[in-house]
Amino acid sequence: MNPRLKSILAKTAVAAVVYVGVLLLVQVGIIDAYLQATMVTICVNIILAVSLNLVTGFTGQFSLGHAGFMAIGAYSTALITMSMPTVLGFILGLLVGAILAALVGFLIGLPTLRLRGDYLAIATLGMAEIIRVLLLNFEFSNGAAGLSGIPQFVNWNWLFVLTAGTIVLISNFLNSRHGRDCIAVREDEIAAESIGVRSTQAKTLAFSVGAFFGAIAGGVYASYFYFIKPDLFGFMQSINILVIVVLGGLGSISGSIIAAILLAVVSTLLQPFPEIRMILYSLVLVVLMVFRPQGIMGSRELSLSLFSKLLPGRRQTRTKVTAEDAA
């Protein structure tokens, strides 16, 4: 069988197992309301991390403002579903939020993506802070008190479709011509430009696509947790997303997914010790970065070939070869 088809089949199988597995566990009652909330957090974080990874990991543009896009999505979805509490309203809210965020990403990205490295980071951080302060002051967003009583439409089906959809769309984008442009820009912007890659276009595209999916995550968050306020989308949230991306490995989609799940598990385990939770979390962060600065996965992906390498049969042949080499 051709390896590409094999890999697609394997991924579809994993997705199907996850979907049916969770569905069964919910039916049986093993996943209770608390675990469901954790699950939603994991999925929201996966969408956020994968979309930020596109910008930071694959295009090499260091953004510290992802929470700003999340806020746009969350408020759009909340406001539209509150005035139109149907499934159609939910879809409309998600779309409006995502398109609005992509537009803001485009408008902010076009001038600021010319900036390199840390300057871009600080400009995007500024953008997210501006969005937060505006939400604190606008009439429609109800200021610091935030919006509550948002109708809940997110269930496991929606969650699965949106999360898996984001992962599939972003990995397909990365395999497309435009995605390869982005990776070329990360590797060496000047070299990429000299072979005809329009680097500003590639960066702006990646930034807008990242913003689009960031807003979807915000919409899912708003629609599941009933309640949003501007402070949820502050500097710390942007940092949290970045931490997931870096812990998983810059330029590794499966790394982002693993790190999102891992962090949620760690934070659930630490729930009984609220006063030392953040201390331990920050210690883990520092220790991990000191000893494994490339993140859990580096820039590799979890794939069939990686698994087959781990199988014992292969390893034996490998050692035999090295033995022969030595001889």
Partner 1 sequence: MEQFLQQVVNGLSIGSIYALIALGYTMVYGIIQLINFAHGDVYMVGAYVGYASMSFLGLDFFTSLLVAMAACTVLGVIIERVAYKPLRNSTRIAVLITAIGVSLLLEYTMMYFVGPEHRAYPALPGFMSHTFHFGEVVITMLQIMIVTISIVLMIVLQFIVRRTRLGKAMRAVSQDRDAAQLMGISVDNTISFTFALGSALAGAAGVLVGVYYNSVNPLMGILPGLKAFVAAVLGGIGLIPGALLGGYVIGATETFVASIGFSMLRDAVVFALLIIVLIFKPSGLLGKNVREKV
User: Which residues make up the interface to partner 1 (CB under 8 A)?
Assistant: 56, 62, 108, 111-112, 114-119, 121-123, 125-127, 129-130, 133-134, 136-137, 190, 235, 239, 242-243, 246-247, 250, 275-276, 278-279, 281-283, 285-286, 289-290, 293-294
Q: How far is the CB of 126 from partner 1 (least distance, A)?
A: 4
Q: How far is the CB of 210 from partner 1 (least distance, A)?
A: 16
Q: How far is the CB of 11 from partner 1 (least distance, A)?
A: 28
The candidate with the shortest Cα–Cα distance to 76, out of 215, 243, 235, is 215
Site of tokens 């913003």: 211
26 or 136, CB closer to partner 1? 136
151 or 255, CB closer to partner 1? 255
C-alpha dist (Å) from residue 211 to 97, 162, 196: 10, 15, 26
Q: Write down the H helix ranges in the chain.
A: 3-28, 33-53, 66-83, 87-112, 117-137, 156-175, 177-187, 189-194, 199-225, 235-248, 253-269, 274-291, 304-310, 312-326
37 or 191, CB closer to partner 1? 191
Cβ atoms of residues 62 and 232 within 8 Å: no
Q: How far is the CB of 142 from partner 1 (least distance, A)?
A: 14
Q: How far is the CB of 148 from partner 1 (least distance, A)?
A: 21
DSSP 152: P
279 or 321, CB closer to partner 1? 279
157 or 299, CB closer to partner 1? 299
Q: How far is the CB of 250 from partner 1 (least distance, A)?
A: 7
125 or 162, CB closer to partner 1? 125
C-alpha dist (Å) from residue 278 to 41, 266, 317, 325: 18, 11, 46, 50
- Measure the CA–CA gap between 113 and 110, rounded to whole angstroms: 6
User: What tokens were used for 202?
Assistant: 């590639």
